Amino acid sequence: MNFQYPMKMESHFSPSRRSFLNTAIAATLGIQTARLTASESQVTPKAQIAITFDLEMSRQYPRREMMEWDFQKGNLNQETKNYSLKAAEIASSLNGTIHYFCVGRVLEQKDIQWLKTISKLGHPIGNHTYDHVNVWATEPEKTQFRFQRSPWLLGGKSADQVIRQNIRITTEAMKQRLNISPDGFRTPGGSSTALDDREDLQKMLLAEGFSWVSSKYPRHEYSPPNTEPDHEIYQSILSAQKEAQP
Protein backbone atom coordinates (compact mmCIF):
# COMPACT_ATOMS: atom_id res chain seq x y z
CA MET A 1 0.00 0.00 0.00
CA ASN A 2 1.14 3.50 -0.74
CA PHE A 3 0.17 6.00 1.97
CA GLN A 4 0.93 9.69 1.58
CA TYR A 5 -0.08 12.84 3.38
CA PRO A 6 0.46 15.84 1.07
CA MET A 7 1.22 19.30 2.39
CA LYS A 8 1.01 22.64 0.65
CA MET A 9 4.59 23.84 0.41
CA GLU A 10 7.13 22.86 -2.22
CA SER A 11 10.70 21.97 -1.24
CA HIS A 12 13.99 20.94 -2.79
CA PHE A 13 13.17 17.29 -2.12
CA SER A 14 11.80 15.51 -5.18
CA PRO A 15 8.43 13.81 -4.50
CA SER A 16 9.14 10.84 -6.73
CA ARG A 17 6.20 8.72 -5.62
CA ARG A 18 3.78 11.56 -6.24
CA SER A 19 5.31 12.17 -9.68
CA PHE A 20 5.02 8.46 -10.40
CA LEU A 21 1.35 8.40 -9.43
CA ASN A 22 0.56 11.56 -11.39
CA THR A 23 2.20 10.01 -14.42
CA ALA A 24 0.26 6.81 -13.86
CA ILE A 25 -3.03 8.73 -13.68
CA ALA A 26 -2.18 10.70 -16.79
CA ALA A 27 -1.27 7.52 -18.61
CA THR A 28 -4.53 5.90 -17.55
CA LEU A 29 -6.54 8.87 -18.80
CA GLY A 30 -4.63 8.70 -22.05
CA ILE A 31 -5.56 5.05 -22.47
CA GLN A 32 -9.21 5.86 -21.87
CA THR A 33 -9.36 8.62 -24.47
CA ALA A 34 -7.09 7.19 -27.12
CA ARG A 35 -8.46 5.27 -30.09
CA LEU A 36 -7.30 1.66 -29.83
CA THR A 37 -6.63 -0.72 -32.67
CA ALA A 38 -8.26 -4.16 -32.66
CA SER A 39 -5.07 -5.80 -31.38
CA GLU A 40 -4.45 -3.11 -28.76
CA SER A 41 -7.97 -3.38 -27.38
CA GLN A 42 -7.28 -6.99 -26.41
CA VAL A 43 -4.21 -6.11 -24.34
CA THR A 44 -4.84 -6.43 -20.63
CA PRO A 45 -3.95 -3.11 -18.94
CA LYS A 46 -1.15 -3.23 -16.39
CA ALA A 47 -1.72 -2.20 -12.80
CA GLN A 48 0.15 0.84 -11.51
CA ILE A 49 1.71 -0.21 -8.21
CA ALA A 50 3.88 1.82 -5.84
CA ILE A 51 6.27 -0.31 -3.76
CA THR A 52 7.83 1.03 -0.57
CA PHE A 53 10.41 -0.52 1.75
CA ASP A 54 11.36 0.58 5.28
CA LEU A 55 15.02 -0.04 6.13
CA GLU A 56 14.67 -1.14 9.74
CA MET A 57 14.67 -4.25 11.93
CA SER A 58 11.38 -5.67 13.17
CA ARG A 59 10.48 -7.12 16.55
CA GLN A 60 9.85 -10.88 16.81
CA TYR A 61 12.50 -11.64 14.19
CA PRO A 62 13.76 -14.31 13.83
CA ARG A 63 11.90 -15.61 16.93
CA ARG A 64 8.58 -14.58 18.40
CA GLU A 65 10.13 -13.67 21.75
CA MET A 66 12.83 -11.51 20.11
CA MET A 67 12.03 -7.89 21.08
CA GLU A 68 15.51 -6.37 21.18
CA TRP A 69 15.12 -4.84 17.73
CA ASP A 70 12.75 -2.30 19.28
CA PHE A 71 15.90 -0.77 20.79
CA GLN A 72 18.11 -1.19 17.70
CA LYS A 73 15.84 -0.42 14.75
CA GLY A 74 18.68 0.71 12.51
CA ASN A 75 21.15 -2.06 13.31
CA LEU A 76 20.40 -4.04 10.15
CA ASN A 77 21.79 -7.56 9.96
CA GLN A 78 23.46 -8.86 6.82
CA GLU A 79 20.41 -10.86 5.71
CA THR A 80 18.26 -7.74 5.76
CA LYS A 81 20.81 -5.73 3.80
CA ASN A 82 21.16 -8.49 1.22
CA TYR A 83 17.39 -8.72 0.85
CA SER A 84 17.05 -4.94 0.48
CA LEU A 85 19.65 -4.79 -2.27
CA LYS A 86 18.28 -7.83 -4.09
CA ALA A 87 14.80 -6.30 -4.10
CA ALA A 88 16.22 -3.14 -5.68
CA GLU A 89 18.09 -5.15 -8.33
CA ILE A 90 15.01 -7.20 -9.23
CA ALA A 91 12.83 -4.09 -9.45
CA SER A 92 15.40 -2.33 -11.65
CA SER A 93 15.66 -5.35 -13.97
CA LEU A 94 11.89 -5.11 -14.51
CA ASN A 95 11.95 -1.31 -15.00
CA GLY A 96 10.37 -0.80 -11.59
CA THR A 97 11.17 1.48 -8.68
CA ILE A 98 11.06 0.93 -4.93
CA HIS A 99 10.82 3.89 -2.58
CA TYR A 100 13.02 3.12 0.43
CA PHE A 101 12.82 4.86 3.81
CA CYS A 102 15.98 4.85 5.90
CA VAL A 103 16.29 4.88 9.69
CA GLY A 104 19.27 7.15 10.35
CA ARG A 105 21.16 4.72 12.60
CA VAL A 106 21.62 2.48 9.57
CA LEU A 107 24.21 5.00 8.43
CA GLU A 108 26.37 4.39 11.51
CA GLN A 109 27.37 1.00 10.12
CA LYS A 110 30.84 0.73 8.63
CA ASP A 111 29.80 -0.66 5.24
CA ILE A 112 26.88 1.02 3.49
CA GLN A 113 27.94 0.25 -0.06
CA TRP A 114 24.76 -1.83 -0.50
CA LEU A 115 22.67 1.29 0.22
CA LYS A 116 24.77 3.44 -2.10
CA THR A 117 24.15 0.85 -4.81
CA ILE A 118 20.40 1.06 -4.22
CA SER A 119 20.60 4.83 -4.66
CA LYS A 120 22.74 4.54 -7.81
CA LEU A 121 20.17 2.17 -9.29
CA GLY A 122 17.75 5.08 -9.15
CA HIS A 123 15.59 4.07 -6.21
CA PRO A 124 14.57 7.06 -4.03
CA ILE A 125 15.43 6.97 -0.33
CA GLY A 126 13.45 8.94 2.23
CA ASN A 127 13.89 9.98 5.86
CA HIS A 128 12.42 7.58 8.47
CA THR A 129 13.85 9.39 11.56
CA TYR A 130 17.12 8.46 13.25
CA ASP A 131 15.86 6.13 16.00
CA HIS A 132 12.45 5.20 14.57
CA VAL A 133 10.68 7.61 16.91
CA ASN A 134 6.95 7.99 17.41
CA VAL A 135 6.29 11.47 16.03
CA TRP A 136 2.85 11.59 17.68
CA ALA A 137 4.36 11.21 21.17
CA THR A 138 3.95 14.19 23.50
CA GLU A 139 6.23 12.90 26.26
CA PRO A 140 9.96 12.55 25.46
CA GLU A 141 10.40 9.10 27.02
CA LYS A 142 7.54 7.77 24.89
CA THR A 143 9.18 8.68 21.60
CA GLN A 144 11.20 5.43 21.51
CA PHE A 145 11.78 2.30 23.60
CA ARG A 146 15.50 3.09 23.56
CA PHE A 147 14.92 6.28 25.52
CA GLN A 148 12.84 4.49 28.15
CA ARG A 149 15.73 2.14 28.85
CA SER A 150 18.39 4.85 28.51
CA PRO A 151 16.66 8.12 29.50
CA TRP A 152 19.95 10.02 29.76
CA LEU A 153 20.05 10.02 25.95
CA LEU A 154 17.19 12.50 25.98
CA GLY A 155 19.40 15.15 27.56
CA GLY A 156 16.45 17.02 29.02
CA LYS A 157 14.85 17.59 25.60
CA SER A 158 11.11 17.91 25.11
CA ALA A 159 9.27 15.46 22.85
CA ASP A 160 9.17 18.13 20.13
CA GLN A 161 12.94 18.63 20.35
CA VAL A 162 13.64 14.88 20.28
CA ILE A 163 11.50 14.39 17.19
CA ARG A 164 12.90 17.41 15.37
CA GLN A 165 16.50 16.36 16.06
CA ASN A 166 15.75 12.78 14.94
CA ILE A 167 14.50 14.08 11.61
CA ARG A 168 17.24 16.65 11.16
CA ILE A 169 20.24 14.42 11.89
CA THR A 170 18.89 11.72 9.56
CA THR A 171 18.83 14.27 6.76
CA GLU A 172 22.38 15.31 7.63
CA ALA A 173 23.57 11.68 7.84
CA MET A 174 22.13 10.95 4.39
CA LYS A 175 23.87 13.98 2.94
CA GLN A 176 27.23 13.10 4.48
CA ARG A 177 27.31 9.33 3.93
CA LEU A 178 25.13 8.87 0.83
CA ASN A 179 25.64 12.27 -0.82
CA ILE A 180 21.89 12.60 -1.32
CA SER A 181 19.06 14.53 0.27
CA PRO A 182 16.08 12.56 1.58
CA ASP A 183 13.33 11.94 -0.94
CA GLY A 184 10.27 12.41 1.25
CA PHE A 185 9.51 11.49 4.85
CA ARG A 186 7.71 8.53 6.39
CA THR A 187 6.52 8.44 9.97
CA PRO A 188 7.54 5.33 11.90
CA GLY A 189 4.19 3.62 12.31
CA GLY A 190 1.03 5.00 10.79
CA SER A 191 -2.21 6.57 11.91
CA SER A 192 -5.73 6.44 10.52
CA THR A 193 -5.87 10.22 10.91
CA ALA A 194 -2.36 10.81 9.52
CA LEU A 195 -1.24 14.29 10.64
CA ASP A 196 -4.68 15.87 10.19
CA ASP A 197 -4.96 16.96 13.81
CA ARG A 198 -1.27 17.76 14.34
CA GLU A 199 -0.61 21.10 12.73
CA ASP A 200 2.52 21.40 14.88
CA LEU A 201 4.04 18.33 13.18
CA GLN A 202 3.03 19.59 9.75
CA LYS A 203 4.83 22.87 10.41
CA MET A 204 7.87 21.05 11.79
CA LEU A 205 8.19 18.87 8.70
CA LEU A 206 7.69 21.81 6.37
CA ALA A 207 10.44 23.65 8.23
CA GLU A 208 12.71 20.61 7.76
CA GLY A 209 12.13 20.75 3.99
CA PHE A 210 9.43 18.14 3.44
CA SER A 211 6.33 19.00 1.41
CA TRP A 212 4.72 15.57 1.70
CA VAL A 213 4.65 12.79 4.26
CA SER A 214 3.78 9.10 4.15
CA SER A 215 1.85 8.62 7.40
CA LYS A 216 -1.71 7.44 6.87
CA TYR A 217 -2.79 3.87 7.56
CA PRO A 218 -6.59 3.74 7.34
CA ARG A 219 -8.56 1.38 9.55
CA HIS A 220 -9.62 -1.97 8.13
CA GLU A 221 -10.84 -5.33 9.39
CA TYR A 222 -8.29 -8.06 10.09
CA SER A 223 -8.38 -11.75 10.89
CA PRO A 224 -7.23 -13.42 14.14
CA PRO A 225 -3.63 -14.75 14.27
CA ASN A 226 -3.02 -17.91 12.21
CA THR A 227 -6.35 -17.47 10.41
CA GLU A 228 -6.73 -16.97 6.66
CA PRO A 229 -8.42 -13.65 5.86
CA ASP A 230 -11.87 -14.13 4.35
CA HIS A 231 -13.64 -12.20 1.59
CA GLU A 232 -14.92 -9.55 3.99
CA ILE A 233 -11.40 -8.85 5.23
CA TYR A 234 -10.11 -8.38 1.68
CA GLN A 235 -13.02 -6.09 0.83
CA SER A 236 -12.31 -4.05 3.95
CA ILE A 237 -8.68 -3.62 2.90
CA LEU A 238 -9.71 -2.61 -0.63
CA SER A 239 -12.10 -0.02 0.76
CA ALA A 240 -9.41 1.32 3.08
CA GLN A 241 -7.02 1.69 0.16
CA LYS A 242 -9.21 4.39 -1.33
CA GLU A 243 -8.71 6.51 1.79
CA ALA A 244 -4.94 6.11 1.54
CA GLN A 245 -4.43 7.62 -1.89
CA PRO A 246 -2.41 10.85 -2.14
Distance of CA 51 to the CA centre of its chain: 10
- Residue 32 has what pLDDT? 42
Spatial distance between the Cα atoms of 170 and 164, rounded to a whole number of angstroms:
10
- Sheet with 212-216, strands from edge to edge, namely 5-6, 212-216, 185-191, 125-127, 98-102, 51-55
Is residue 139 scored above 60 in pLDDT?
Answer: yes
pLDDT at 39: 52
Closest C-alpha to 104, from 132, 137, 140, 145: 132
Q: Is the pLDDT of residue 140 over 50?
A: yes
What is the reported pLDDT for 176?
99
Percentage above 70 pLDDT, the chain: 82
pLDDT digits (tens, 9 = 90+) for 185-233: 999 999 999 999 999 999 999 999 999 899 999 999 999 988 999 999 9
Predicted TM-score (pTM) of this structure: 0.79
> For the chain, which residues make up each domain, given as ranges?
5-243
The pLDDT score that the predictor gives to residue 25 is 38
> Topology of 5-243 in CATH?
TIM Barrel (3.20.20)
Checking if the pLDDT of 235 tops 80, the result is: yes
Q: pLDDT tens, 43-84?
A: 777 767 789 999 999 999 888 889 999 999 999 999 999 999
Q: Which residue has the higher pLDDT, 62 or 98?
A: 98
Cα 123 to Cα 38: distance, rounded to the nearest angstrom = 37
User: Mean of the per-residue pLDDT values for the chain?
Assistant: 86
